[in-house]
Amino acid sequence: MRVFDFDHAIVRRPGRSVVNGLRKGPDAPTYEGVLQEHDAYVAALRAAGLSVDVLPPLEAFADSVFVEDPALVFGEGAILLRPGVASRLGEAEKMRPVLERHFDRVLELEGEQYADGGDVLVTSDEVFIGLSKRTNRTGAEALAQKLKALGRKARVAETPRDILHFKTASSILDEHTVMATRTMADSGVFSGLKVLVVPDGEEGAANFLRLNDTVLVGARYPRTIEMLQKAGFNAKPMPVTEINKIDAGLSCMSLRWKARG
Ligand code: GLY
Protein backbone atom coordinates (compact mmCIF):
# COMPACT_ATOMS: atom_id res chain seq x y z
CA MET A 1 0.00 0.00 0.00
CA ARG A 2 1.37 3.45 -0.90
CA VAL A 3 0.63 5.16 2.39
CA PHE A 4 2.34 8.28 1.10
CA ASP A 5 -0.23 8.93 -1.65
CA PHE A 6 -2.36 11.92 -0.70
CA ASP A 7 -4.86 14.24 -2.35
CA HIS A 8 -5.92 16.42 0.63
CA ALA A 9 -4.16 18.29 3.40
CA ILE A 10 -5.01 20.58 6.30
CA VAL A 11 -2.52 23.20 7.50
CA ARG A 12 -2.75 26.15 9.88
CA ARG A 13 -1.14 29.51 9.22
CA PRO A 14 1.35 30.42 11.94
CA GLY A 15 0.34 33.15 14.37
CA ARG A 16 2.73 35.81 15.66
CA SER A 17 2.92 33.77 18.88
CA VAL A 18 4.85 31.08 16.97
CA VAL A 19 8.05 32.81 18.15
CA ASN A 20 7.16 31.41 21.61
CA GLY A 21 6.84 27.84 20.33
CA LEU A 22 8.29 25.18 22.63
CA ARG A 23 12.01 24.67 22.04
CA LYS A 24 15.10 23.19 23.62
CA GLY A 25 17.58 25.43 21.81
CA PRO A 26 18.55 29.02 22.62
CA ASP A 27 17.20 30.80 19.53
CA ALA A 28 13.60 31.73 18.85
CA PRO A 29 12.51 31.89 15.21
CA THR A 30 11.21 35.06 13.61
CA TYR A 31 7.52 35.25 12.74
CA GLU A 32 8.33 36.43 9.20
CA GLY A 33 10.78 33.54 8.74
CA VAL A 34 8.28 30.90 9.87
CA LEU A 35 5.63 32.46 7.66
CA GLN A 36 7.92 32.29 4.61
CA GLU A 37 8.76 28.66 5.31
CA HIS A 38 5.08 27.88 5.80
CA ASP A 39 4.13 29.58 2.52
CA ALA A 40 6.79 27.52 0.71
CA TYR A 41 5.44 24.39 2.38
CA VAL A 42 1.85 25.04 1.30
CA ALA A 43 3.07 25.71 -2.25
CA ALA A 44 4.99 22.40 -2.21
CA LEU A 45 1.92 20.48 -1.03
CA ARG A 46 -0.11 22.00 -3.88
CA ALA A 47 2.66 21.33 -6.41
CA ALA A 48 2.62 17.68 -5.31
CA GLY A 49 -1.08 17.53 -6.24
CA LEU A 50 -2.81 18.06 -2.89
CA SER A 51 -5.83 20.24 -2.27
CA VAL A 52 -4.98 22.24 0.87
CA ASP A 53 -7.32 23.69 3.53
CA VAL A 54 -5.54 26.57 5.26
CA LEU A 55 -6.90 27.21 8.77
CA PRO A 56 -6.55 30.65 10.40
CA PRO A 57 -3.83 31.31 13.01
CA LEU A 58 -4.53 30.55 16.68
CA GLU A 59 -2.58 33.11 18.68
CA ALA A 60 -3.43 31.43 22.00
CA PHE A 61 -1.51 28.33 20.96
CA ALA A 62 2.08 29.08 19.99
CA ASP A 63 2.68 25.62 18.47
CA SER A 64 -0.65 25.30 16.69
CA VAL A 65 0.97 25.56 13.23
CA PHE A 66 2.02 21.96 13.88
CA VAL A 67 -1.40 20.50 13.15
CA GLU A 68 -0.20 16.93 13.01
CA ASP A 69 0.31 16.72 16.79
CA PRO A 70 -3.33 17.11 17.92
CA ALA A 71 -4.89 14.84 15.27
CA LEU A 72 -4.40 11.92 12.88
CA VAL A 73 -6.23 11.39 9.60
CA PHE A 74 -6.76 8.49 7.20
CA GLY A 75 -9.13 7.95 4.29
CA GLU A 76 -11.23 5.88 6.71
CA GLY A 77 -11.55 8.55 9.39
CA ALA A 78 -9.84 10.90 11.82
CA ILE A 79 -8.66 10.67 15.41
CA LEU A 80 -8.51 13.63 17.80
CA LEU A 81 -5.46 13.14 20.00
CA ARG A 82 -4.48 14.58 23.39
CA PRO A 83 -1.07 16.28 23.04
CA GLY A 84 1.16 15.38 25.95
CA VAL A 85 2.21 18.87 26.99
CA ALA A 86 -0.18 21.21 28.81
CA SER A 87 0.31 24.20 26.51
CA ARG A 88 -0.85 22.16 23.49
CA LEU A 89 -3.72 20.12 24.91
CA GLY A 90 -6.37 22.65 23.85
CA GLU A 91 -5.29 22.45 20.20
CA ALA A 92 -7.22 19.22 19.67
CA GLU A 93 -10.63 20.82 20.28
CA LYS A 94 -9.75 23.53 17.76
CA MET A 95 -9.24 20.84 15.10
CA ARG A 96 -12.63 19.24 15.68
CA PRO A 97 -14.71 21.41 13.28
CA VAL A 98 -12.47 20.89 10.25
CA LEU A 99 -12.21 17.17 10.91
CA GLU A 100 -15.97 16.86 11.23
CA ARG A 101 -16.34 18.68 7.91
CA HIS A 102 -14.07 16.24 6.10
CA PHE A 103 -14.64 12.92 7.87
CA ASP A 104 -17.74 10.87 8.73
CA ARG A 105 -15.86 9.18 11.57
CA VAL A 106 -13.96 11.24 14.15
CA LEU A 107 -12.69 9.11 17.05
CA GLU A 108 -10.96 10.62 20.08
CA LEU A 109 -8.67 9.93 23.00
CA GLU A 110 -9.80 10.84 26.50
CA GLY A 111 -8.71 11.28 30.12
CA GLU A 112 -5.12 10.31 30.85
CA GLN A 113 -4.53 9.08 27.31
CA TYR A 114 -1.83 11.32 25.85
CA ALA A 115 -0.37 11.03 22.35
CA ASP A 116 1.17 13.46 19.85
CA GLY A 117 0.82 12.79 16.13
CA GLY A 118 4.55 13.44 15.83
CA ASP A 119 5.02 10.07 17.50
CA VAL A 120 2.99 8.24 14.85
CA LEU A 121 4.68 6.82 11.76
CA VAL A 122 2.43 5.17 9.19
CA THR A 123 4.06 2.41 7.14
CA SER A 124 2.50 0.10 4.58
CA ASP A 125 1.84 -2.73 7.03
CA GLU A 126 1.39 -1.03 10.35
CA VAL A 127 1.38 2.18 12.33
CA PHE A 128 4.25 2.79 14.75
CA ILE A 129 3.31 4.65 17.93
CA GLY A 130 6.42 5.90 19.70
CA LEU A 131 6.41 6.24 23.47
CA SER A 132 7.96 9.59 24.34
CA LYS A 133 7.67 12.47 26.80
CA ARG A 134 4.50 13.41 24.87
CA THR A 135 2.98 9.96 24.31
CA ASN A 136 2.35 7.74 27.33
CA ARG A 137 1.63 4.02 27.29
CA THR A 138 -2.03 4.58 28.18
CA GLY A 139 -2.34 6.93 25.22
CA ALA A 140 -0.44 4.64 22.87
CA GLU A 141 -2.57 1.63 23.76
CA ALA A 142 -5.81 3.59 23.44
CA LEU A 143 -4.62 4.94 20.11
CA ALA A 144 -3.81 1.42 18.91
CA GLN A 145 -7.46 0.50 19.58
CA LYS A 146 -8.73 3.52 17.64
CA LEU A 147 -6.44 2.61 14.75
CA LYS A 148 -7.78 -0.93 14.82
CA ALA A 149 -11.29 0.48 14.54
CA LEU A 150 -10.11 2.26 11.36
CA GLY A 151 -8.60 -0.96 10.00
CA ARG A 152 -4.93 -0.27 10.86
CA LYS A 153 -2.58 -2.48 12.84
CA ALA A 154 -0.41 -0.64 15.37
CA ARG A 155 2.99 -1.36 16.94
CA VAL A 156 3.91 0.47 20.15
CA ALA A 157 7.63 1.25 20.16
CA GLU A 158 10.20 3.14 22.20
CA THR A 159 11.42 6.54 20.98
CA PRO A 160 15.13 6.92 21.81
CA ARG A 161 15.74 9.18 24.83
CA ASP A 162 16.31 12.86 24.09
CA ILE A 163 14.36 12.71 20.84
CA LEU A 164 11.20 14.82 20.98
CA HIS A 165 9.04 12.73 18.68
CA PHE A 166 9.36 9.35 16.96
CA LYS A 167 9.21 11.15 13.59
CA THR A 168 11.86 13.67 14.62
CA ALA A 169 14.27 10.85 13.79
CA SER A 170 12.52 8.72 11.15
CA SER A 171 10.29 8.99 8.08
CA ILE A 172 8.75 6.68 5.52
CA LEU A 173 10.51 6.70 2.16
CA ASP A 174 8.65 4.04 0.19
CA GLU A 175 6.52 0.92 0.70
CA HIS A 176 9.37 -1.01 2.30
CA THR A 177 11.84 1.59 3.49
CA VAL A 178 12.23 4.04 6.34
CA MET A 179 15.06 6.51 6.65
CA ALA A 180 16.26 7.32 10.16
CA THR A 181 19.06 8.66 12.29
CA ARG A 182 21.82 6.23 13.25
CA THR A 183 20.50 6.10 16.86
CA MET A 184 17.01 5.22 15.74
CA ALA A 185 18.19 2.70 13.15
CA ASP A 186 20.48 0.97 15.66
CA SER A 187 17.70 0.74 18.23
CA GLY A 188 16.25 -2.16 16.19
CA VAL A 189 12.79 -0.66 16.30
CA PHE A 190 12.28 -1.10 12.56
CA SER A 191 12.73 -4.86 12.40
CA GLY A 192 11.23 -6.18 9.18
CA LEU A 193 11.74 -2.95 7.26
CA LYS A 194 14.64 -1.73 5.14
CA VAL A 195 16.32 1.16 6.97
CA LEU A 196 18.49 3.83 5.36
CA VAL A 197 20.54 6.05 7.65
CA VAL A 198 20.89 9.80 7.15
CA PRO A 199 24.50 11.01 6.82
CA ASP A 200 26.32 11.89 10.05
CA GLY A 201 25.77 15.52 10.96
CA GLU A 202 22.44 15.66 9.07
CA GLU A 203 20.25 14.03 11.74
CA GLY A 204 17.61 16.72 11.24
CA ALA A 205 17.08 15.44 7.70
CA ALA A 206 15.42 12.29 9.09
CA ASN A 207 12.24 14.30 9.38
CA PHE A 208 11.29 14.54 5.70
CA LEU A 209 7.95 14.16 3.98
CA ARG A 210 7.09 11.79 1.15
CA LEU A 211 4.09 13.13 -0.81
CA ASN A 212 3.09 11.06 -3.84
CA ASP A 213 6.26 11.02 -5.98
CA THR A 214 7.94 13.96 -4.26
CA VAL A 215 10.11 13.87 -1.14
CA LEU A 216 10.33 17.19 0.74
CA VAL A 217 13.68 17.42 2.55
CA GLY A 218 15.21 20.25 4.56
CA ALA A 219 17.46 22.36 2.31
CA ARG A 220 19.95 22.44 5.20
CA TYR A 221 20.77 18.81 4.51
CA PRO A 222 22.51 18.66 1.11
CA ARG A 223 24.11 15.24 1.56
CA THR A 224 20.75 13.65 2.33
CA ILE A 225 19.22 15.38 -0.69
CA GLU A 226 22.05 14.10 -2.91
CA MET A 227 21.70 10.59 -1.46
CA LEU A 228 17.98 10.53 -2.23
CA GLN A 229 18.41 12.01 -5.70
CA LYS A 230 21.08 9.43 -6.54
CA ALA A 231 18.68 6.71 -5.39
CA GLY A 232 16.15 8.05 -7.93
CA PHE A 233 13.83 10.00 -5.64
CA ASN A 234 12.47 13.40 -6.56
CA ALA A 235 13.91 15.16 -3.49
CA LYS A 236 12.79 18.77 -3.20
CA PRO A 237 14.78 21.04 -0.85
CA MET A 238 12.61 23.01 1.57
CA PRO A 239 13.52 25.91 3.87
CA VAL A 240 13.29 24.67 7.49
CA THR A 241 15.81 26.77 9.43
CA GLU A 242 13.18 28.70 11.39
CA ILE A 243 10.84 25.81 12.19
CA ASN A 244 13.83 23.67 13.22
CA LYS A 245 14.48 26.28 15.95
CA ILE A 246 11.21 25.26 17.58
CA ASP A 247 12.00 21.56 17.34
CA ALA A 248 9.71 20.97 14.38
CA GLY A 249 10.03 19.59 10.88
CA LEU A 250 8.21 18.96 7.64
CA SER A 251 5.78 16.25 8.68
CA CYS A 252 4.16 18.08 11.59
CA MET A 253 2.93 21.09 9.56
CA SER A 254 0.13 19.18 7.81
CA LEU A 255 -2.47 16.49 8.13
CA ARG A 256 -2.62 14.50 4.90
CA TRP A 257 -4.94 11.87 3.50
CA LYS A 258 -6.25 10.31 0.34
CA ALA A 259 -9.99 10.42 0.02
CA ARG A 260 -11.59 7.03 -0.53
CA GLY A 261 -13.46 6.08 -3.66
N1 GLY B 1 7.61 23.09 19.22
C2 GLY B 1 6.98 21.88 18.85
C3 GLY B 1 6.58 21.09 20.03
O4 GLY B 1 7.28 21.13 21.03
O5 GLY B 1 5.59 20.44 20.05
- Around ligand 1, the residues with Cβ closer than 6 Å are 21-23, 63, 66, 69, 246-248
Q: Which is the CATH superfamily of the domain at 8-257?
A: L-arginine/glycine Amidinotransferase; Chain A (3.75.10.10)
Query: Does residue 102 carry a catalytic annotation?
Result: no
Calculate how far, in angstroms, residue 64's C-alpha sits from the geometric centre of ligand 1. 9
Query: Does residue 252 carry a catalytic annotation?
Result: yes
Give me the catalytic one of 8, 38, 102, 165: 165
Q: For residues 99 and 80, is the Cβ–Cβ distance under 8 A?
A: yes
Calculate how far, in angstroms, residue 141's C-alpha sits from the geometric centre of ligand 1. 22
Q: Which of 19, 27, 69 to mutate to test ligand 1, by most ligand atoms within 8 A of the CB atom?
A: 69
Q: For residues 43 and 254, is the Cβ–Cβ distance under 8 A?
A: no
The per-residue DSSP string of 2-60 comes to -TT--SEEEEEPPPGGGGG---SSSPPPPHHHHHHHHHHHHHHHHHTT-EEEEEPP-TT
If DSSP codes are grouped into helix, strand and coil, which group holds residue 72? strand
- Distance in angstroms (rounded) separating the CA atoms of residues 94 and 11: 13
Name the residue ranges covered by the structural domains of the chain. 8-257
Residue nearest to atom 1 of ligand 1 (CA): 22
Ordered per-residue pLDDT tens for the chain, 261 residues: 799 999 999 999 999 999 999 999 999 999 999 999 999 999 999 999 999 999 999 999 999 999 999 999 999 999 999 999 999 999 999 999 999 999 999 999 999 999 999 999 999 999 999 999 999 999 999 999 999 999 999 999 999 988 999 999 999 999 999 999 999 999 999 999 999 999 999 999 999 999 999 999 999 999 999 999 999 999 999 999 999 999 999 999 999 999 976
